[in-house]
Copies of this chain bind each other. A is one copy, B any other.
Amino acid sequence: MTTAITPDISAPRSHNAKRLSIIDAAARVFCQEGFAGANIDLIAAEAGVSRQTVYNHHGDKENLLVAVVKEIIERINAGVFETLATFPDKPVDLEAELVAFAVRLNQNCICSRDGKFLRKLLHTEGERHPKLFAGWREDGPAKTWAALAARLARLAHAGWLEIEDPDVAARQFLALVNADLQMAMIFGDNVTEEQQRTSATNAVRTFLRAFGKARPNAT
């Protein structure tokens, strides 16, 4: 364990903790009330901080939004990367392992708090602040698709799948995995684990009907 004390910042500890607390509260309020409807007094209260502190840290309301988006995107990218690493490379029971992977993907990336925030901010501010999400737009979905496509191509090469265009297959896999959750997520319902498992099972079954091939370890 590196003791990792940021050397530059002078009074880091509680200072940084408050910074994160503010960003979290701001994310919540921005998502619930929209940018224009977000009240900085409310954000400060929810963060357990005086209003002035909010201004000290982030200056502008606009600037606060920028910080929020930046933070959320970073977290989401990390989560996606982490989850993608658990893709079944050498499957024994491909269907079961793909289902488990799909469930993890939903849990960690799509139905998670940050996933919800990013989705909501994209919809409410995406059109108005394209620059805010420009970086994510290329580094996020594109890289995710490419990474997933590479994994799928590997499985195809190993004889598990038959895929012509791995990129298309990757996007379709994600689309199928989300098919049943969209509606629930829009209304902020919390999706039960049961639902997630059913949804993932249906998705993977259809995906394998389309792209599955030989099953070296058939039961």
- Give the B-binding residues of A (Cβ under 8 A): 32-37, 119-120, 122-124, 126-128, 130, 133, 137, 141, 165, 168-169, 171-172, 174-176, 178-180, 183, 186-188, 202-203, 206-207, 209-211
- A34–B128 alpha-carbon span in the complex (Å): 11
Write 14 A-B pairs (CB below 8 A) sorted by A numbering.
A32-B128, A33-B36, A34-B36, A34-B37, A34-B124, A37-B37, A120-B123, A126-B188, A127-B188, A137-B187, A168-B206, A172-B206, A209-B209, A209-B211
Q: Are A123 and B171 in contact (CB under 8 A)?
A: no
Number of copies: 2
Using known A-B contacts A171-B180, A210-B206, determine if residue A187 contacts B127 with beta carbons closer than 8 Å. Answer: yes
A78 to B39: give the CA distance in the assembly, Å. 38
Contact indicator B183/A175 (Cβ below 8 Å): no
The SS class assigned to the A binding surface is helix
Interface centre among A37, A123, A172 (most CB of B within 10 A): A172
Give CA–CA (A187, B133) in the complex, Å: 9
With A32-B127, A210-B210 given, is the CB distance from A175 to B186 under 8 Å? no
Partner of A124, one of B124, B168, B169: B124
Q: Which residues of the partner chain B approach A35 to less than 8 Å between Cβ atoms?
A: 34, 37
